[in-house]
Amino acid sequence: MKAVLGDTIIAEASKDDLISIEGNWYFPPSSVKSGYLVESATPYTCPWKGECQYFSVKGEDAVLQDRAWSYPTPYPSGIDKVGKDFSGYVAFWKEVTVTE
């Protein structure tokens, strides 16, 4: 599967390596290409997953604020709920399209 912004592939991994949580595909950290994500200061804590790290996504023409996110150290109960450790996995939003 691929996370794509315009013609740029931001992340790519086998579907078996991704984790689906609440309708979003989370890519393994090693599958995200360097240079496209910039850490954001936007704060958020999910009540069951834990503290979130947002990222802005750098495209060819713009930087899109908070279009990716990750849970660097999810709550143990969140990992239990998902059934897999999703620490550091990255999900994408809006203009970043996830396709097979």
Residue 60 has a pLDDT of: 80
Given this model, what pLDDT does residue 79 score? 98
Predicted pLDDT at 61: 80
Enumerate the domain spans of the chain: 2-99
Question: How many CB atoms are located within 10 Å of the residue 12 CB?
Answer: 14
The 8 Å CB, 24+ separation contacts for 4-8 are 4/96, 4/97, 4/98, 4/99, 5/36, 5/57, 5/59, 5/64, 5/95, 5/96, 5/97, 6/59, 6/60, 6/61, 7/60, 8/36, 8/59, 8/60
Q: What is the pLDDT of residues 38-71, one digit of tens each?
A: 999 999 999 999 999 999 999 888 899 999 999 9
Pick the CATH number of 2-99 from 3.40.630.30, 2.170.150.40, 2.40.50.100, 1.20.1440.230: 2.170.150.40
Tokens standing for 95?
């203009």
Q: What token pair was written down for 91?
A: 């999900």
